Amino acid sequence: MVRILIVGGVAVGATAAARLRRLDEEAEIVILEKGNAVSFANCGLPYHIGGVIEKRESLLLQSTEGFWERYRVEVRLGHEAVSIDRERRTVQVRDLNNGTGYEDSYDYLILSPGARPRLPETEPGAETLMYALHTLEDMDAIMADIAARKVKNVAVMGGGYVALETAENLAKAGIETTLVQRSSKLLPPFDPEMLAPLYSEIGSNGVQMLLNSPVTRIARQGEGLQLERRGGKLINCDLLIAAIGVEPASELAHKAGLDLGESGGIIVDEHMRTSDPSIFAAGDVIEVAEYVSQKPAHIALAGPANKQARIIANTICGMPSAYRGTQGSAIIKVFGLTAAATGINEQAAQKLGLNYDKVYVSSINHAGYYPGAEGLLMKVLFEKPSGRILGAQLIGKEGTDKRADILAVAIRAHMTAADLVELELCYAPPYSAAKDPVNVAGLMISNLLEGKVKQFHWHDVDELPRDGSLNLLDVRSPIEFSEGAFEGFVNIPVDVLRLRLDKLDKSKPVYLHCRSGLRSYIAARILMQNGFSASHLCGGYWFYQLAQAAVG
């Protein structure tokens, strides 16, 4: 009979235990969880604070009794693994309930302690009013403090998914909320020019957002805290929630001599084995291969963690399966908007030295003639000349998740722009257009790769020479042109362009734009078929303004 010890009982531990039992009815399976709950939904913690998830018990996906009754898995809450003796295959355990210690043995050991939140330094006394939001206990403590002191204002440090979800739910609970981010942008997976709609949405819902504001001092101030930002500017709040990232909780593995990567995560092979064949690891504690580049990375996401747990169980039970990498598919609700990303962003593509380009797709989520159509903004990165899809970022409302998932599948399947064109996606006016935005992205990229059009980008506009060496053309309507235009651009609407080709110098390249990129593409095709060299602005005048607002 095989004996399996599992350290950590949340996503990986619970999933691995359940899968192991389904594959092996005879195995002894024990979960050591140092917290007070097993298999809880930590992704739901902010939504209970905001009252969206009303009942705390909704976050408890399984109990110790339930695990035993259904799976015959022994769950020991409040039991912390302290050290591993790899030669003897034993674990030293501390029972936090009574302070005693004991030794337990294993044939296989699964390490899934997760990650620990990073916390900023504070002055003495301030730490009692600073919280992370990582466990049920964290959530309970925050809610208890808010209720006991009738907290009116909270500062949230950070700019990632947890920080934004927490800020949104605090605001929805009627608490004055300030979001403080050390860097100049939110959401690291997104490129900066894509974030203007989110900034507007956050501000319009009452959250004060302070970007490029590293906190240099956190001190107790009466019954609350005072945060000092760079430059001496102060923020006063009743309490602080720190959501500045996580790092692998790999101390146990390090003490046992297991190999760690540069991120501090445990190094595993494709079967999730560590450098010790009898020890496996998965979830937020490991270093994974980023799927597009296959470079090592620490990516803490629940979906990949569950897949890794299943692979461990399969391998232990003699049916090896392999993990191919994490592509970072993630999504977040920010008040009334949805933001999603998958694959690599432009910063990563540049760091990897890839030959790539991008398209910006300004579309709507379903047929324009059907009521309620909403805007959908997409950025899709692709490799040249293959057209392979490398990454995507999307911001919109209903239907944003659907397109993000399609593009995530495209990346996983090594699909190209030509494949996106060929995708047969569900269509009816309430759900999409006959050419879905994903198809449109494929068409735009294919046109570029086939030489049917050339493009330039929002960050190129201000660098274009205004010395007469180029034809600079605005093909919007006269009314649009009068409401705002680029310096040096001449207005010739697309519908009269064929009649005014003689106004352009054929010996000079033409750089042209419209509002969103469609009319300028049509105009570029007209020009190119009449002997001009033409490049149009991808995303158009509208996206240029949006990007400038985000990065400026």
Burial class (CB in 10 A: 0-12, 13-18, 19+), 32: buried
Mean pLDDT, residues 64-93:
96
Distance CA 330, CA 346 (A): 16
Any idea what the Cα angle at residue 536 is, between residues 416 and 189, rounded to 5°? 50
pTM comes to: 0.95
Mean pLDDT, residues 128-155:
97
Instruction: Look at residue 334 and tell me whether its pLDDT is greater than 80.
Output: yes
Any idea what the Cα angle at residue 385 is, between residues 293 and 194, rounded to 5°? 60
Instruction: Answer for the pair 286, 265: CB distance below 8 angstroms, yes or no.
Output: yes
And the tokens for 533? 């060299």
SS3 of 105-121: the string is: ECCEEEECCCEEECCCC
Instruction: Look at residue 552 and tell me whether its pLDDT is greater than 80.
Output: no
Distance CA 42, CA 127 (A): 23
Phi, psi (degrees; rounded to nearest 5) at 292: -70, -45
Pairing of strands 90-95, 101-105: antiparallel
What is the rounded average pLDDT for all residues in the chain?
97
43 is catalytic: yes
- The structure tokens 């302290």 sit at 82
DSSP-based three-state secondary structure for 510: strand
Residue at 258: amino acid letter = L
pLDDT recorded at residue 106: 98
Mean pLDDT, residues 357-377:
96
Instruction: Describe the crossing of helices 11-23 and 302-316 by its angle, rounded to 10 degrees.
Output: 30
DSSP-based three-state secondary structure for 15: helix
Q: Which of 54, 252, 240, 71 is CA-nearest to residue 157?
A: 240
pLDDT recorded at residue 447: 98
Residues facing residue 534 across a β-bridge:
510
Instruction: Answer for the pair 240, 155: CB distance below 8 angstroms, yes or no.
Output: yes
Distance CA 89, CA 92 (A): 10
Mean pLDDT, residues 19-43:
95
